[in-house]
C-alpha cells in the first residue's frame, strides 16, 4: 500500500484524474501521451522541486507581478491537473486566465472554462480570433487577452506557439519537465518542475517578493543557466540511482 504522502501515490491519482478528464473530453487523448513524457523526466528529478526550479519559480513571480498585462494560458491538461492552483495564482498575480487549445472545439473550450470557474478562477472568455501566426488551432485567442499580453505563462506548452509568441515580442514563461524540448529552449524563462508543485511556489513568491527582489530576479535571469542546472541535477541523480 503506497502512503498518500508518497509521490507515487500522487502520480497514480493524477493518472486517474487525467483519464477521467479524457473520457469527458476536457483532456485530448494526445494529452495523455504528453503527460507520460513529462512524468518520465520528473522521475529523473526525484519527483521534487530542485533549487534551480525554485529560482525559476521566484523569477516567474517577479515577471508576472511586474507585467503590464500578464496572462495565464490554460489547456486541457493544465485545467484537469491544476484548476485550483491556477485560480490561486491568478489571485496572487493579478493575471488573466485564458483557455487556448491545440485540439480546439467550442465544446471543449466551454468545458475547460467551466472547470476553471468551478475552482474559483475568473476566466477571460468571449469571441476568439485567429490572431497568432500559426497554422493550427492554437492561433485562436482573444484580442484583449493573450494577443495583448506582455507576459504569458504557458504551462505544458507546445514549441510552435512558444516560438510564435517570442517572435511577437512577448515574454514567455514555460513550465516544462523536459529541459531539452523546443519549448524549454525557446521560452524566455523555463521552469523545469511538475505543474502542481510549480504553481503554488509561484503563488507564494508573488506574495513574498519585495520590489528589490523582483528587480534583481528579472535583471539576473539566465535561462541557459537554469536549463543547464536542471540537466545537471538530473544527471547527478542518475549517477547515484543505484546507491
Least confident of 30-34, 179-183, 207-211: 30-34
Contact predicate 69/93, CB 8 Å: no
Q: How confident is the model at residue 2 (pLDDT cuts 50, 70, 90)?
A: very low
pLDDT value of residue 64: 98
Architecture of domain 51-239: 3-Layer(aba) Sandwich (3.40)
Residue 9 has pLDDT above 50, yes or no: no
Residue 1 has pLDDT above 60, yes or no: no
Give the list of residues 6+ apart from residue 87 with CB closer than 8 angstroms, or none: 97, 116, 119, 120, 121
Computed from CA positions of residues 182, 151, 224, 179, in that sequence, does the dihedral angle turn out positive or negative?
A: negative
Q: What percent of the chain has pLDDT over 90?
A: 62
* pLDDT tens profile 127-175: 899 999 888 888 989 999 999 999 999 987 678 889 999 999 999 999 9
Q: Which three cell numbers stand for residue 199?
A: 504553481
List the domain boundaries for the chain: 51-239
pLDDT value of residue 136: 86
**Predicted TM-score of the model (pTM):** 0.88
Residue 25 has pLDDT above 90, yes or no: no
Amino acid at each position: 500500500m503506497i502512503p498518500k504522502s508518497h509521490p507515487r501515490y500522487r502520480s497514480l491519482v493524477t493518472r486517474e484524474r487525467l483519464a477521467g478528464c479524457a473520457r469527458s473530453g476536457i483532456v485530448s487523448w494526445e494529452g495523455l501521451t504528453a503527460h507520460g513524457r513529462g512524468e518520465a523526466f520528473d522521475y529523473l528529478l526525484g519527483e521534487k522541486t530542485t533549487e534551480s526550479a525554485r529560482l525559476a519559480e521566484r523569477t516567474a513571480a517577479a515577471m508576472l507581478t511586474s507585467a503590464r498585462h500578464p496572462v495565464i494560458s490554460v489547456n486541457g491538461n493544465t485545467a484537469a491537473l491544476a484548476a485550483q492552483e491556477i485560480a490561486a495564482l491568478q489571485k496572487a498575480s493579478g493575471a488573466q486566465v485564458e483557455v487556448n487549445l491545440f485540439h480546439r472545439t467550442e465544446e471543449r473550450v466551454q468545458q475547460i472554462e467551466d472547470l476553471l470557474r468551478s475552482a474559483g478562477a475568473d476566466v477571460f472568455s468571449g469571441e476568439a480570433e485567429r490572431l497568432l501566426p500559426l497554422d493550427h488551432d492554437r492561433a485562436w485567442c482573444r484580442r484583449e487577452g493573450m494577443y495583448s499580453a506582455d507576459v504569458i505563462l504557458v504551462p505544458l506548452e507546445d514549441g510552435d506557439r512558444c516560438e510564435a509568441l517570442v517572435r511577437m515580442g512577448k515574454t514567455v514563461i514555460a513550465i516544462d519537465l523536459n529541459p531539452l524540448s523546443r519549448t524549454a529552449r525557446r521560452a524566455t524563462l523555463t521552469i523545469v518542475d511538475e505543474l502542481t508543485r510549480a504553481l503554488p511556489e509561484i503563488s507564494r513568491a508573488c506574495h513574498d517578493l519585495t520590489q528589490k527582489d523582483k528587480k534583481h530576479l528579472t535583471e539576473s535571469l539566465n535561462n541557459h543557466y537554469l536549463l543547464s542546472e536542471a540537466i545537471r541535477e538530473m544527471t547527478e541523480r542518475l549517477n547515484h540511482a543505484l546507491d
